[in-house]
Structure 1
């Protein structure tokens, strides 16, 4: 095994020197020598991918959540932004225009002690309806997960500095479910352009996007300390997983599934299943602002956890966490 691995590293280094291939281009989500199992073995700068104890994503078990009464609602600025929807060969991503501009989008409160400035949105999705999300709920995966990535702008000057530093990043995870039609207008703005970013290197301009309105209609969430879900797996992320999915149409999901990891001349493989397998929790605590035992005074509906074990796909069977 060690001999074969050493041979692979030598070969990859040779390819890099001859063809200009870099580690950032070479890794994949799929199984094989470039897949998640080997990220931390093939590049010494990514060792934490293999040896880290706070890796992401994780499987969330509702019965093991710890209620934290001191956490406030998560806050996202309501400004609208423009940017580029693009295919980078690994993910479909929306990159926001210079986040230092006056209309930058900031995330505060919730489990966060600092202000975090959003830089991009990443979409993970599967080839079938039971695959796709990074995070799982009691072992069950969703067909997609949308992630808003932000860096700590109170302490660090940019994302590059923040991603390798303590309290550097936060990522908001929005799980996605299928409905007869999409119910989120902000997602629609992205979805109508998916066919134009089918191949690596494709990009298209998107204007007037509200990240606040992209969020599901809930203030409840789960949170834990983890890592990026791609190389180099830096353990600098405060994860926030919202306690309600957004709903997209099958048509839009199928448009995503047409995306390829290569360019138009060499399409390579479908991008679908661009999610990392769940990692061990390693005694970490997943906290929540959901108080299961104490509904708010005057309410007729107890505040519930939306995600339950063996949850059905149908929207009508998912419980509500809203109040009267």
Structure 2
């Protein structure tokens, strides 16, 4: 399913508005940091109205090569959200097919939370916000040398979005991520996690929503193919509360 460009509606709230953004590790450094955020026509995040979705029979399933491999990562508190850096440079995880014309290499992950268990995701579905959202950022390594170069270029990035819902039990790999929170309470603190498997995190579904949008933080370059899986992953109420309590300390 894809979102027609004419039906894209940018909906910011008091948490996610441009005026509330802070520095993030993925943020582009540019002399004109804010213009696209306010003046762009394809800005993310958006509120997705399911009644306006269009089924595209030409869209193929998304392929993720290397997701079965265990990787070592580092969780960093950026002061605005949680970033996960991939430490193992020898393991390449690649997004291909689906709505993508090129191949994209996974660069890192951002985890978006809110102050309440039912508010945290960047994207909304029919006006409903989810407790959290995992955003897996990949860059077009066919055309561009690195993430920093690709983020401002055409077809530069693909972001796989995984929405989170509250349930009774999360996966072991998600539990490992949350167990590291106590070590990253303050901006700049980091914690390494070993043997993380994306297969244990990414839902097993071939269905997704896709649209052409932007970085959801400055400089808001409109270079992103968003792929939002239609199946959420489970996090627990305790995990959400731990994050928010730690953030307010």
Q: TM-score, normalised by structure 1?
A: 0.66
Aligned partners of 1:33, 1:154: CA distance in 2, in Å? Answer: 31
For structure 1, which runs of at least 5 residues remain unmatched after alignment?
A: 1-28, 37-42, 261-269, 272-324
Deviation at residue 105 of structure 1 after TM alignment: 1.0
- Greater Rg, structure 1 or structure 2? 1
- Spell out the pairing of 1:52-67 with structure 2 (5 A cutoff): 52-67=40-55
Name the structure 2 match of 1:104. 92
Aligned partners of 1:143, 1:34: CA distance in 2, in Å? Answer: 22
Q: Equivalent of 1:35, from 20, 25, 28?
A: 20
Deviation at residue 130 of structure 1 after TM alignment: 2.7
Indicate the RMSD between aligned Cα atoms, in angstroms.
Answer: 1.9
Aligned partners of 1:33, 1:239: CA distance in 2, in Å? Answer: 19
Name the structure 2 match of 1:82. 72
Listed one character per residue, the Cα deviations across residues 198-248 of structure 1 (whole Å, up to 9, x for unaligned) are 111110111111223311121100000000100100100000000011011
Deviation at residue 32 of structure 1 after TM alignment: 9.0
Name the structure 1 match of 2:195. 208
SS of corresponding position for 1:75: strand
SS of corresponding position for 1:50: helix
- Say yes or no: does 1:225 pair with 2:223: no
> Is 1:106–1:118's contact at 8 Å kept on the other side of the alignment?
yes
For structure 2, which runs of at least 5 residues remain unmatched after alignment?
A: 1-13, 22-30
Alignment size in residue pairs: 225
Name the structure 1 match of 2:109. 121
Q: Equivalent of 2:137, from 132, 142, 149?
A: 149
SS of corresponding position for 1:257: helix
Name the structure 2 match of 1:164. 152
Aligned partners of 2:133, 2:246: CA distance in 1, in Å? Answer: 16
Listed one character per residue, the Cα deviations across residues 115-171 of structure 1 (whole Å, up to 9, x for unaligned) are 111111111111112311100011010111111001001110000110000000011
Q: TM-score, normalised by structure 2?
A: 0.85
Greater strand content = 2
Aligned partners of 1:229, 1:104: CA distance in 2, in Å? Answer: 25
> Is 1:81–1:209's contact at 8 Å kept on the other side of the alignment?
yes
Name the structure 1 match of 2:24. none
- Say yes or no: does 1:68 pair with 2:53: no
Q: 1:130 to 1:207 in 2, by over 3 A?
A: same
> Is 1:181–1:250's contact at 8 Å kept on the other side of the alignment?
no
Q: Equivalent of 1:48, from 30, 33, 36?
A: 36
Listed one character per residue, the Cα deviations across residues 266-323 of structure 1 (whole Å, up to 9, x for unaligned) are xxxx49xxxxxxxxxxxxxxxxxxxxxxxxxxxxxxxxxxxxxxxxxxxxxxxxxxxx
Q: 1:250 to 1:242 in 2, by over 3 A?
A: same
Q: Equivalent of 2:173, from 163, 186, 189?
A: 186
Aligned partners of 2:168, 2:48: CA distance in 1, in Å? Answer: 27
Listed one character per residue, the Cα deviations across residues 26-83 of structure 1 (whole Å, up to 9, x for unaligned) are xxx85899425xxxxxx73320111000000111111111111111111112222112
Q: Which runs of 4+ in 1 moved over 4 A?
A: 29-34
Aligned partners of 1:179, 1:30: CA distance in 2, in Å? Answer: 24
Name the structure 2 match of 1:236. 223
